[in-house]
Amino acid sequence: MAYFQSKPTSGRHFLQIPGPSNTPDRVLRAMDYPTMDHRGPDFGRFGKQLLEKLRGVFKTSQPVVVFPASGTGAWEAALANTLSPGDRVLMCETGWFAHLWQELAGKLGLKPELIETDWRRGADVAAIEAALREDKAHGIKAVCVVHNETSTGATSRIAAVRKAIDAAGHPALLLVDTISGLASIDYRHDEWGVDVTIAGSQKGLMLPPGLSFNAISQKALKAAEGAGIPRSYWDWRPMLAANAQGFFPSTPATNLLYGLDAAIDMLMEEGLDNVFARHDRFAEATRRAVRAWGLEVQVEVPGEYSSVLTAVRLPEGHSANALRATILEKFNMSLGNGLGRLNDRVFRIGHLGDFGPLQLVGTLGGVEMGLGAAGVPHKPGGVQAAMAYLNGNA
């Protein structure tokens, strides 16, 4: 069997976690292609074309390197290539993944300085600017922000963060994690002045886990010349040298790259602006369903709602984990769990990637039935509210 379930079930399993997202058949078929010689001329031609196409997704003319790794590897690569032990890094704890990135920075010998939030909003732009203005000696070497915080459903305003850094007159690098945001919501590496963008394959790019990315500015490339954190596998320099001819310094995840090529074609055929509008539409429909049920969206700032996922708070005394277990058992649907301080307080509905209106209606129907089956106080009509919005915004 390709995978194992605890009991036989009929129908398709609904994987509605906020990543890995569902992989389209077209991408799966592309990954079925026989593995080619990754040192041969055909691969070199394929690699050069793919890396060029990939830049379009990041909206950059700068290099994008690809590692066979999860997004955590791309976190480490971004830090290790630009910084040295003892460097101060300003980080905003918008949720669990921002917290984990901060922990990783500490393990590399960096000195994270954390701006805390209540995990119900994006990065605090004013606090970032204030901290940089106070740093007269420019001891802070990088500002690290999660663009789309998958644990909470909050999207940070990266263009505003760039403006804050510039307004403070500070030379810090801007490192941004858009692992769950890329190819689902608007992202502009060049225009927003990002120095290193971090991404992964298993979210908006509609691939299985296994590829991670760094998009790199010229300022970041310059910083890499003097970075002091030991690096070998994560070193950009041999990667960029090999990429110039379409190759990789170590064995690439060849079949995942085939899938990436097909996924980018799908995104560009739909048009990135249309992809973003589709995600926006489904996210708004989901939030309308949540409010119709009488429940609360985790994020409190409307301008920072994510179009990738919606985190839903349950009333006090009710277990989000028990609700998720009921929905999985009765309706064969997986929803995201609460992470860190949100464990058992929220469940997360993923509405990203290869996803259409009927899938959304089915997902919300499963949630509404699950709320009833689990005895969670709610009002009926969430699915109808979502459908009414979708019908008026097709």
> Pairing state of beta strands 296-297 and 14-16?
unpaired
Neighbours of 385 (CB within 10 A): 20
Q: How far apart are CA 298 and CA 310, in angstroms?
A: 8
Q: Enumerate residues 6+ apart whose C-beta is below 8 A from 130.
A: none
Instruction: Give the Cα separation of 215 and 150 in Å (integer).
Output: 20
DSSP 62-87: S-EEEEES-HHHHHHHHHHHH--TT-
- Give dist(CA 61, CA 80) in Å, integer: 23
Asked whether residue 348 is marked as a ligand-binding residue, the answer is yes
311: left (phi over 0), alpha (psi -120 to 50) or beta: beta
Whether the Cβ atoms of residue 105 and residue 79 lie closer than 8 Å to each other:
yes
How far the first Cα of the chain sits from its last, in Å, is: 39
State how far the Cα of 100 lies from the Cα of 121, in Å rounded to an integer: 17
CA 333/CA 12 separation, integer angstroms: 9
Annotated binding site for substrate: 348
Annotated binding site: 348
